[in-house]
Amino acid sequence: MSTGPASDDTLPATPWERSPRRRPAARVPLTPERVVDAAYEVLDREGLDGLTMRRVAAELGTAVSALYAHVSSKDELLELMYQRMFAGLEIPDPDPDRWQEQIKEFARAGRARLLAHRDMARISMAHVPFTAGLLPQLERMLALFRNAGLPDRITAVVGDMLSTYLEGFTLEEEMWAARLAAQDGGDGTAAWARMRAEMEAYFASLPPDRFPHLTALSGVMADEDQDQRFEAGLEIIVRGLATYLDEDGARPAAPRGTADTADRGAGPGRTAGGTGHGRPAPPQG
Q: Which residues, including other chains, have CB under 8 Å from residue 93's CB and lie 6 or more apart?
A: 259, 260
What is the average per-residue pLDDT within 257-269? 41
pLDDT confidence tier of residue 243, bands split at 50, 70 and 90:
very high
Alpha-carbon torsion 115, 166, 226, 123, what sign? positive
pLDDT confidence tier of residue 26, bands split at 50, 70 and 90:
low
Enumerate the β-bridge partners of residue 267.
284
Give the per-residue pLDDT at 281.
Answer: 36
Greatest mean pLDDT among 16-20, 109-113, 261-265: 109-113
Give the per-residue pLDDT at 87.
Answer: 76
Give the per-residue pLDDT at 221.
Answer: 85
Give the per-residue pLDDT at 159.
Answer: 85
Q: Which residues, including other chains, have CB under 8 Å from residue 253's CB and lie 6 or more apart?
A: none
Instruction: For residue 43, give the 3-state DSSP assignment.
Output: helix
Q: Which residues, including other chains, have CB under 8 Å from residue 146's CB and lie 6 or more apart?
A: 94, 152, 155, 252, 254
pLDDT confidence tier of residue 58, bands split at 50, 70 and 90:
very high
What is the average per-residue pLDDT within 216-234? 91
- Please count the helices (runs of H) and the strands (runs of E) in the chain: 12, 0
Prediction pTM value: 0.74
Instruction: For residue 267, give the 3-state DSSP assignment.
Output: strand
d(CA 266, CA 285): 4
d(CA 72, CA 244): 45
Segment among 139-148, 162-171, 232-241 with least mean pLDDT: 139-148
| Contact predicate 78/53, CB 8 Å | no
